[in-house]
Structure 1
Amino acid sequence: MTTILRPEDYGATLGIADSTEAFRRLFAEIAKRSRRDPGGDRLQAPVVIELSGQYTVSGTISFAAASRTQGITVRGAGKRTSEIVMTGGAPLFTNPDTAMGVRFYDCSFRSTNPKASFLYSTSTGGAQDWGFNNVEWRGRWSYGIGLDGPPEDSNCNSEWFFNNCHVGGSYEKAWLWSGMTPTIKQQDQFLNFSLRDCKVEFEYGDALRFDRGGSIVVSGGSWIIKGVRSDGGPSRFFNFPAAPSPHADSVQSLLVEGVRFEPRKPMNLVIESDWKGQITFLNCLDDAWAYQPQSAADDYAPHRYTNPGGVRYTGCQLTGRHRVTQTAPPSRQAIVYDQCARTVGSRRTKAAFLDLQGAYASSIRISHRDDRDGIT
């Protein structure tokens, strides 16, 4: 039988009063109520945390348990109707390799402290399968969700999904930051992230940053970067930096379908990638700068790749230039534009659209198929 727990029953109050200790008592109660799953090797925590209004906390709340535990649900009455406000400079939640199968529904999380983060999750196999439905993040954050793991074994932190969520606010690093310690090769195994029909409209930062590998599927939604970083540097929807050691071949995959991107400012990017796996955009648009003349956007290159493997754009409407930097001889490389078009007439030639750089620029393999602008 599922048990409903309310923060008010543990001393929380609605409004600006600090309810950190009340939430800690609530989560300690969940750990006490956990019981052995008769069909497996985990604990069950058939508990629903019901958020009725707005709560303020200043410290970390932990999903710690005696053993790996599955079944916790956090449910609100609607975005901003049910909200937790973080005022401290630490992670709001931590998951020390124990909580699995966690679900969030119909609630918001807001930070007033730019040093705060929403969740820091470490894993050696006990942190996985988290899902968010109609959840919102807003305010000022260092990062949103951070996925990490100790050196000995950092598997899992996998199977994450986000449905109809809203990513607002600002992020000094990223909203979803996977592979926080990229010297650990096992963090290539943080896999299977799905975002469906999300409203990703934030001020600055990176939306998704994967310092190691990842298998990511994005479908539908509106993605906008509204402002600029204070240092003038780029914000990105997808940031896949070079890892300090080679990735595994099977874990560098991004599929994006039916998304309209608005980087808005010329320094902001749709993607900056050093991955050598497969990156695919299907029926996407990035036409926020389409109204600008070529002279105002000569350096506008919102898609940037360094030593890529497989890159494909199918049925996309594109703005600006695409920059590909090749610093090593290409290996197993194919970049394909299939039935694509460009929004600025002066970019409708291969020379004007492609910005090829690096010592091996002449060796980059690029093909255009059934191009709507006649590029061959």
Structure 2
Amino acid sequence: MATTDFKDYYATLGVSKSATADQIKQAFRKLARKYHPDVNPGNKSAEAKFKEINEAYEVLSDPDKRRKYDQFGQYWNRAESAGWPGGAGGADFGGFDFSQYGSFDDFINELLGRFAGGTPGAGRTYSSYRTGTSPSGFGGFNDYTGYKDTSAAGQDLESTIKLSLAEAFKGVQKRLNLGNEVITVRIPAGAKPGSRIRVKEKGQINPYSRRRGDLYLVVEITPHPFFKFEGDNLMCEVPIAPDEAALGAAIEVPTPDGTVTMNIPAGIRSGQTLRLRGKGWRNPNGERGDQLVRVMIVPPTDLSSTERELYEKIRANRTSDPRSSLKQVKL
């Protein structure tokens, strides 16, 4: 197979080389519906495209063929017919006898060694060469992009980790089951929703270099009935009685560290926000943000006879009109 005959089956299906079998199948079905001859009668371009995606799917849907395609790139079919691995078969590759080599790696490594005037550099194999140019005197080997990097780490992985608000605030150690191993991960204090925790070398393994990528844990915090996040601050709502709003008061407010006393100024309106400095969430430096307290005035729903009498006296003697400004409203 000449270099110009090489077809990138992943590009044909529009998927990445790390695509799962299900992703490959979904991509094939989508393209097959689009380019099927029944949908495009008489369209030669669509017919050719339909044949290409069928060819690509035939290889990538077969684990064995896909493995060889990933390993040998444009030469995968020839390598298969040559009987590698094992060196048997002696297939014709442009008139060249490969039976003298134990594997395709041996052939390419010797070939590159000839071009360089010696053996490839220490620690390098054919998979590390991506020159894109063909040494003179030996055509057809100018594209090594089909071969795998023997030094790169495997792919990084990402997963969600759920924490309670207390675990996120104080920090916690979690045991995670990665399928073939169980690891312990330390979550630092102050993690927030969306925080990404890096766990080194717990991602996928590069089968060629045997190096692992990293695992990233995305923090998800279980909703709390009282505390909520508002930007970098912690937010809560606290109810107060009408007399506390009118006269002012000192009330108890929960914080992550326990209860503190907060002063309510006289005449506060429902929905106004007060600030407890240094009582909010921790940042990565260990410093504390603020806790915001939204005050909500809650009228009593079950008045005693004494309360009703006093509220009636207040109404009878009230001098202010909270709706006085509405008298000027017009269309």
The TM-score, its normalising length taken from structure 1, stands at 0.17
Bigger Rg, which one: 2
| Greater relative contact order structure (CA < 8 Å, 6+ sep) | 2
The TM-score, its normalising length taken from structure 2, stands at 0.19
Q: Which has the higher helix share?
A: 2
